[in-house]
Amino acid sequence: MPKRIAYLGPPGTYTEDATERYDPTAERYPCATISATADAVRSGEADEGVAPIENSLEGAVNDTLDLLIREQMLMVRQEVLVPIRHCLLVKPGTNASDIQVVYSHPQALGQCRRHLEETLPGATPQAALSTAASVEQMLASDTPAAAIASRRAGELYGAEVLEEDIQDVAGNTTRFVVLAKEDHEPTGDDKTSICFDFDEDTGPLVGDTPGLLYNVIGEFAHRNISMTKIESRPAKSEMGRYVFLIDLIGHRTDAIMVEALKAVELRASSIKVFGSYPRSH
């Protein structure tokens, strides 16, 4: 029986593309939101779920980061890199001069911001739940509109391609993560993602106690564990309190990584390992 993989739908999204690249033999299960994708895996409706986590132009996908921070059952099992080539899609026969609204996911709108400002300065950007959903919204709109999505989405829904490759940078790439109830076994070329924070015992704000973040990062640097990314998200408890997220080279079961993570536990108020998984190149 083929694996069932949930993804941010409907069909035609870049997340579906990532899902197919990850496992072309799997049955694909579209979901309306990233949270719904995770729910499908938790409940057993799907074996795994695919969600976008980072774009090379627009940075983090906050919905996915926030989900991982609070998630109790799921881990990151894999990552998938997908080159993003956006098209400007319209109802057949629509002229560029007629377009008043441009629908797409906020990430896609951001990735094409400069192009839209130069070519459609009078059009209003309108957020959609996904790039494929934006094509459906555009086709249903009574106002002359366009959508930013993939060529495949245009073919699926009967839209016309007005322009191709409208992303502001040619090398536009999105990283997706595969969510499952277990992460991946060691391969020898792995990545580990974690988050940690500091509580009132170390001061309400990171700046209240000098060196807190520096000392945590030092636990990895002293052991020659490379970091590929560090960022922060609001802890959502009070202004100025943050959760820090780091991607590290190595597997969580590597002896040196086990040692480093134990040392971080002593310095941070909490630490969570999102998972270890093979690196994509």
User: What distance in Å separates the CA atoms of residue 196 and residue 209, rounded to the nearest whole number?
Assistant: 16
Query: Catalytic: which of 19, 64, 174, 192?
Result: 174
Rounded Cα distance between 265 and 75, Å, is 19
Query: What CATH fold (topology level) applies to the domain 4-83+174-180?
Result: D-Maltodextrin-Binding Protein; domain 2 (3.40.190)
Q: Tell me if residue 143 is catalytic.
A: no
- The highest-level CATH class for domain 190-278 is alpha beta
- Whether the predicted pLDDT of 49 surpasses 80: yes
At 140 the pLDDT is: 96
Using the predicted structure, report yes or no on whether residue 206 has a pLDDT greater than 50. no
Do 88 and 148 form a contact (C-beta atoms < 8 A)?
A: yes
Domain with CATH 3.40.190.10 in the chain: 4-83+174-180, 87-164
Question: Is 274 considered catalytic here?
Answer: no
Spot the catalytic one: 19, 64, 131, 176.
Answer: 176
Q: 87-164 — its CATH code?
A: 3.40.190.10
188 vs 159: CA distance, rounded Å? 45
CATH 3.30.70.260 residue spans of the chain:
190-278
Half-sphere exposure of 245 (CA within 13 A, CB side): 21
- For the stretch 112-160, pLDDT in tens is 999 999 999 999 999 999 999 999 999 999 999 999 999 999 999 999 9
